[in-house]
Amino acid sequence: MSFADRLIDAVRTKNTPLCIGIDPFVDKIPTALFGNAREDTSAVLKFSASIIDLAREYSGVVKPQLGLFEQFGEMGYATARLITEQARAASLIVILDAKRGDIGTTAEGYARATLGPSPGFDADCVTINPYLGLDTLEPFIATAQANAKGVAILVRTSNPGAGDVQDLQVGGAPVWRRVAEMLSPQQARLQGASGWSGLMAVAGATYPEEARMLRDALPHSLFLVPGYGAQGASAADAVSGFVKTPRGLEGGVVSSSRAVSYPPAAQSAANMNEWRAAIREAMAGAAAELRAACAA
Q: Please, how many CA atoms are within 13 Å of residue 109, restricted to the half-sphere of its CB?
A: 6
Q: Which residues from 123-142 bind its own copies, rule CB under 8 A?
A: 129-136
Q: Check residue 81 for interaction with its own copies (CB under 8 A).
A: yes
Q: Check residue 160 for interaction with its own copies (CB under 8 A).
A: yes
Among 169, 172, 246, 273, binds its own copies (CB under 8 A): 169
DSSP code for 159? S
Distance of CA 76 to the CA centre of its chain: 19
Question: Is 99 among the residues known to form the active site?
Answer: yes
x/- letters, 102..121, toward its own copies (CB under 8 A): xxxxxx-xx-xx--x-xxx-
What whole-number distance in Å separates Cα of residue 281 and Cα of residue 16? 15
Residue of 14, 28, 46, 99 with catalytic role: 99
Sorted by sequence, the CB contacts under 8 Å of residue 46 that are 6+ apart come out as 34, 35
Q: Check residue 182 for interaction with its own copies (CB under 8 A).
A: yes
Q: Check residue 14 for interaction with its own copies (CB under 8 A).
A: no
Among 163, 212, 236, 291, binds its own copies (CB under 8 A): 163
Q: Check residue 151 for interaction with its own copies (CB under 8 A).
A: no
3-state secondary structure of 171: coil
For its own copies, the closer of residues 8 and 19 by Cβ is 19
Distance of CA 227 to the CA centre of its chain: 11
What whole-number distance in Å separates Cα of residue 104 and Cα of residue 99? 16
Residues of 39-68 as b/e, b for ≥16 C-beta within 10 angstroms?
eebebbbbbbbbbbebbbebbbbbbbbbeb
CB 266 within 8 A of CB 253: no
Q: Check residue 68 for interaction with its own copies (CB under 8 A).
A: yes
Sorted by sequence, the CB contacts under 8 Å of residue 292 that are 6+ apart come out as 235
# residues contacting its own copies (CB under 8 A): 61
Among 75, 142, 148, 236, binds its own copies (CB under 8 A): 75
Task: State in angstroms the smallest separation of the CB of 111 from its own copies.
Answer: 9
Q: Check residue 154 for interaction with its own copies (CB under 8 A).
A: yes
x/- letters, 246..265, toward its own copies (CB under 8 A): --------------------
* Residue 219 one-letter amino acid: P
3-state secondary structure of 125: strand
Residues making contact with its own copies (CB under 8 A): 23, 25, 65, 67-78, 81, 97, 99-107, 109-110, 112-113, 116, 118-120, 129-136, 154, 157-166, 168-171, 175, 178-179, 182
- Which residues have a catalytic role annotated? 99
